[in-house]
Every structure is written in C-alpha cells, then in structure tokens.
Amino acid sequence: MTKQILVLPGDGIGKEIIAEAVKILAVLCDDFALDVEITEGVIGGAAYDAYSHPYPEETKTQARIADAILLGSVGGYEYDKLPRDLRPERGLLGIRADLGLFSNLRPAILNTELADASSLKPEVVAGLDIMIVRELTGGIYFGEPRGIRELESGEKQGYNTLIYKESEIERIAHSAFKIAMKRDKRLCSVDKANVLEVMELWHEVVERVAKEYPEVELSHMYVDNAAMQLVKDPKQFDVMVTGNMFGDILSDAAAMLTGSIGMLPSASLDINGKGMYEPIHGSAPDIAGKNIANPLATIMSVSMLLRYSLDEEALAQKIDAAVEAVLKNGLRTQDIATDGDHVVSTSAMGDAVAIALRDLK
Ligand code: IPM
Ligand code: MG
C-alpha cells in the first residue's frame, strides 16, 4: 500500500535541505520501487505567515493522516518578537505533543571520513556510535504551571515546572531498553537525583523497568558528570536515556563530537512507531538562502524514516552507503570541510548523494 509522507520544510535553511532529501526520495521511488506519496505542508514561521499560527489546523490534519513526517527546521529572527505562543518553536513543540512523539532518538555516529572535523583528538572519537534517547513530550518543556508573574514587590519572576509521571518515565525507559537490546546492551540513565525529587523518581522507575531487561547493563549518571564524560571519553557510552531538557543539551554536545551538527538526523516516535524525522540542527537563518547548508543530516533522517516507520531497512542502508561514498570521494559542505577539501553547495551535495544512490541499484 502506498505510504503517505508529509514533508514540512519549515524555515531558514529548512527549505533548501528538505529539497535535497526529496531528491533522494524521488530516486528511491524511480529506481528502487519505493511506494510513497509525498505531500507538503507548513510549520513554524512559514505556517505563521500562511495561517497566523505555527502549527495550524491544516497541518494538524495532514500530520495525523501521514504515515511519517519529514521536517526541516523552524525559527527565524523575524518571528522573535511574536507572542511566545505564536513563535515557530511552538509549532515544533505543538506537533511533538499533538502526535504523542515521546521518544526522541538522536544518534551520534562519527563517520570515519570525518574524524578530522571533530574538535577532539581522533583517537577519542574514532568509531564513536552513541544513541541518545530523549523524552520529548514531558518534563520542564511542558510542565504547568509556567509563566512570568509580577510579585507584590513589583519585581517579575519567571517560573517553569519540571514534572514527570511514573507512566511517562516507564515508557521512555522501555523505549531505551529496547534500543539497547538491539545494540551493545548498555544503557546509561542520566538524571540529577542528587538535587531534584522528580529525578529521584526517574532513577527509581528506570531501576524498576530494568528488571524486565536483565541482559542490559544499566548505569546511572548525574547530568553534569554526563556532560563532562561525553567530552572526556565519549566511547564509554552505548545508549543514554534522559529527560527532555537534559536530552536537548546533551544531544547538541554529542553532535559536536562528530565534527558537525549538520551531520546528525533524529527520529521522534509515538507508541506505535509512527514518527517524525528531522535533522537535529536548527534553521540557521544566518546562512539561509545561500545554498551552503549541509543537507546530510536531513538525507540521513530519510534513512531513519525508512528504517523506523516504513520497515525498509535495506533502502535505509543504501542511503547510508551513498552518503559514505560521497564523503569518501572528498565532497564536503563548508561546515565539515578541512584544508584541501572539495567544498560543494547544498544542492551539489544532494545531487552527489542521488547519483551515488543510483549507482547502488
Ligand atoms: C531541538 C531544538 C528544539 C528543542 C527547539 C527548536 C524548540 O533545540 O529539537 O533540540 O529545544 O527541542
Ligand atoms: Mg536542541
């Protein structure tokens, strides 16, 4: 049956990088018999421009019927002055919450060709392969009450609430243990149980869930130490599981170990495996429209989409192999280039991956 893919380019470099990912999908349809129908919608600032809302009803309807969603990025300077509820970021948080995409998988894999692009010594990062599992629809991002209030003294006070129910911790823990079972069977749960009660509960629930996965070696680490260990000795980790905000921060740090945030895809899954796929980098308004952004994270997001939502592992591997081949040939976008590299544009990188993919037929 034809699967429906909703494409949401969003803002900034989103449009350029999504165009390259769509090229790759087209090759898969033409040459590899992939049976998908692609529809396009708006989110973030682009949606605000069209419908005065960052996640409008029109997009909601499209998103709910799609089998999988491919998203570019959201955000732009021109929207910074809007009321918080109408800002592009709210569109992203809105679709994650609306579709119940609680399990966010953020792999940090160092492509061997790019060992020199990392700011860490090659021996520290060579062969790096970490999976960060970030809880995505709870925690301080969504906790109530929240706001900015005026105190009696006339001084303003901002406040947010970091809350997790047992059921929310349980389901993300199951998600992480299942992934660990398919990898090296080592899971590190990251919390701040030495200070926060909510994290004490997190620790306790993860321990409880662990009993169902006796083969997985579970460890716990406080988030500050985890940040340090990621930079000091990242290869000690296999799978890491953590809450929404800690995961946001640690996944950016882990991304940089690989040399560029422009290389890393992500998947956000609901309880049935329906997913949204997006590069973990932002909309980079400073380089938008210049045809210099790195499209590889988005192209590899297509690979994750095929793997996790469409059950097309063989095609996912073909995309990964095509990206590998292009990097091996020395092609680099500016963000991953070192001296002497052949620097190419966004569209040229997409074309090169498309050609490499066709060659794998
Ligand atoms: C991410 C981003 C988002 C987040 C922003 C854009 C709302 O940083 O996907 O990591 O904080 O979740
Ligand atoms: Mg982030």
Distance 294 CA to ligand 1 centre (A): 18
Assess whether pLDDT exceeds 90 at residue 256: no
Distance 260 CA to ligand 2 centre (A): 14
According to CATH, the topology of domain 1-102+270-361 is Isopropylmalate Dehydrogenase (3.40.718)
Task: Point out the ligand nearest to the CA of residue 134.
Answer: 1
Distance 241 CA to ligand 1 centre (A): 17
Q: How confident is the model at residue 339 (pLDDT cuts 50, 70, 90)?
A: confident
Provide DSSP, 94-130.
HHHHHTT--EEEEEEE--GGGGGGSSS-HHHHTT-EE
Task: Point out the ligand nearest to the CA of residue 252.
Answer: 2
Task: Point out the ligand nearest to the CA of residue 92.
Answer: 1
**Helices vs. strands in the chain: H and E counts, helices first:** 12, 14
Name the segment(s) of the chain with CATH classification 3.40.718.10: 1-102+270-361, 103-264
Q: How confident is the model at residue 260 (pLDDT cuts 50, 70, 90)?
A: confident
Q: How many residues does the chain have?
A: 361
Mean pLDDT of 162-191: 97
- How far is 274 from 267, CA to CA, in rounded Å? 10
Distance 94 CA to ligand 1 centre (A): 12
Among 226, 251, 102, 275, smallest CA distance to 174 is for 102
Q: Are 270 and 102 in contact (CB under 8 A)?
A: yes
> Taking the C-alpha atoms of 51, 266, 301 and 15 in order, what is their torsion angle to the nearest 10 degrees?
30
- Tokens 């800002």: give the residue: 87
Question: What is the per-residue pLDDT across 5-40, written as a single tens digit (0 to 9) for each?
Answer: 999 999 999 999 999 999 999 999 999 999 999 999
CA atoms within 13 A on the CB side of 78: 8
Q: How confident is the model at residue 114 (pLDDT cuts 50, 70, 90)?
A: confident
Residue nearest to atom 5 of ligand 1 (CA): 89
Query: Architecture of domain 103-264 in CATH?
Result: 3-Layer(aba) Sandwich (3.40)
Q: Which residues line ligand 1 (CB under 6 A)?
A: 89, 92-93, 248, 280
Contacts of 261 by beta carbon, 8 Å cutoff, 6+ apart: 252, 255, 280, 281, 297
Residue nearest to atom 11 of ligand 1 (CA): 248
Its pTM stands at: 0.94
Assess whether pLDDT exceeds 90 at residue 46: yes
Catalytic residues: 141, 192, 224, 248, 252
Residue nearest to atom 6 of ligand 1 (CA): 89
